[in-house]
Amino acid sequence: MSKRKNLRKVLVIHGPNLNMLGKREPAIYGKTTLNDINKKLENLGKKLGIAVDTFQSNHEGEIVEKIQDAMGKCQGLIINPAAYTHTSIAIRDALLLLDIPIIEIHLSNIYKRESFRHKSMIADIAEAQISGFGTLGYNMALEAISTMI
């Protein structure tokens, strides 16, 4: 059996507009790009013995399909649903299909922002929520999920 097959697999899903990191509201989200985040996660994953699969979409249905596709293939999921955090019952329902640890992540502290951002549709079904640590939150999530799986 190859070493790759022994790796635990974690799916990281980035929601809408996160493809614009580095350009979009740098005062809130910083100058780090999504590609930078993904590379750091892949490198940390190697150190932790985790294969990291990253995915970004601006489309709710594509995110739902990616979650459904993770069934039986991933041991953990990290998701930054972005704006869908506050609106998507479809993403919530898809996450309920999974029997793996889920960590919800946000670059900014959603509780220090507009009141409509304070409600998460998935917080109560996730194992944990990491919010407000910027890009460091992704590393924190991967390290945490590595201990859960």
Active site (catalytic) residues: 29, 106
Round to whole Å and give the CA distance between 96 and 107.
23
Handedness of CA 15, 123, 137, 7 (dihedral sign): negative
Residue 102 CA to residue 114 CA, distance in Å, equals 25
Beta bridge partners of 54: 12
Closest CA to 23 of 14, 8, 33, 10: 33
